[in-house]
Amino acid sequence: MQYSASVSSHPEAGPPSFRKPTAGDARTVATWLFRRGERVDMHTLATHLDIGRSTLYRWVGDREKLMDQVILASVGDIWDDARRDAVGGGVDRVLDATRRFMQGCIDFQPLATFARREPNLALRVLLDPDGLVTAALARNLSREVAAAAPEVAVPQRTFEVLALAATALLWAHVAASRDPDIDATIDIMRTVLSAHARVAESPGEEADRL
């Protein structure tokens, strides 16, 4: 996914340092706190930056918008690894990358901790149809299908629904401290993508049905 990771992958190294803080620094420190498993609190963040809370809100929006940015910056490497390690061809490769990404997100302790500690906020962020995380997942599913299975003609809106459905099936369980059924989610995605492949291959049959 096209995420921008702006903080070291080793949060134990200490907080980022800078002379005069900027909006970008606010997101960097928030991501550092998140990766340490700490609660990203606006007061704590403003204190780290030595700025007023009104300035912080002006820079990053409210806490929900900030967490959307933080999660986006934190899971990009997971998608890149999943895409690189995926096996198979066509739709199978897309789904294998998706499965690896979902498992990687579950195994990413800062995100799992956030979902369990603040389930309402986590689900609002992750299931926001206009959110950055949802948009990135839908966009990258679309790109993977275009690259690995060009014979599958899926409307962009369908990718958006698939992204939301997969996210809901995954994180609703995690937030409730239950094990999610990734296989069931992948099966649903396979059914949708396969249906569009059949339509793409048999436009005459589709016309006959109409």
- pLDDT, tens digit (0-9, with 9 covering 90-100), for 67-78: 999 999 999 899
**Closest Cα to residue 81, out of 61, 64, 65, 98?**
98
Q: Are residues 162 and 100 in the same domain?
A: yes
Q: Are residues 30 and 88 in the same domain?
A: no
Task: Quote the pTM value.
Answer: 0.82
Q: Are residues 56 and 80 in the same domain?
A: no
Total domains in the chain come to 2
Residue 206 domain-assigned (yes or no): no
Read off the pLDDT of residues 18-31 as tens digits, 9 standing for 90 and up. 568 999 999 999 99
- Mean pLDDT of the region 75-104: 95
Confidence band (pLDDT; 50, 70, 90) for 210?
very low
Q: Are residues 95 and 150 in the same domain?
A: yes
Q: Are residues 120 and 180 in the same domain?
A: yes
